[in-house]
Amino acid sequence: MKRILLVVAVAALYVLHQDIWFWRSSYLVFGFIPIGLFYHACFSVAAALLMWLLVTFAWPAHLEQEVEEVEREEGRTS
C-alpha cells in the first residue's frame, strides 16, 4: 500500500509540473516574482519532500545487504 501511494505521489507531481493554468498569467507574487516562476520554485521544494518520502519509506535496503554478503564472502576467501 505504501509503495502504491508513493507511485501515485510521483505520478501526481509529474502531472502537476504541467501547470497550464498559470500559462498566460503575468501576476507578480510579492510584487516581483512572476507566478509561473514562483509555482515552479514551490514545485522544486515539493520534489525534495517527495524524495525524502521515497528515501524514508522505500529505501532499497536489500541492495546494501547483498553487497555486505558479497564482501563478507570475499573476506572469507581472501
User: What residue ranges bind another protein (CB under 8 A)?
Assistant: 10, 13-14, 17-20, 22-26, 28, 31-34, 36-37, 40-41, 43-45, 47-48, 50-52, 54-55, 59-60, 63-64, 66-67, 70-71
Set of cell numbers at residue 42? 514551490
In terms of CB distance, is 1 or 32 closer to another protein?
32
- Min CB(60)–another protein separation in Å: 5
**Ramachandran region, residue 70 (left: φ > 0; alpha: ψ -120 to 50; beta: rest):** alpha
Show Cβ contacts of residue 41 under 8 Å, excluding neighbours closer than 6 positions: 33
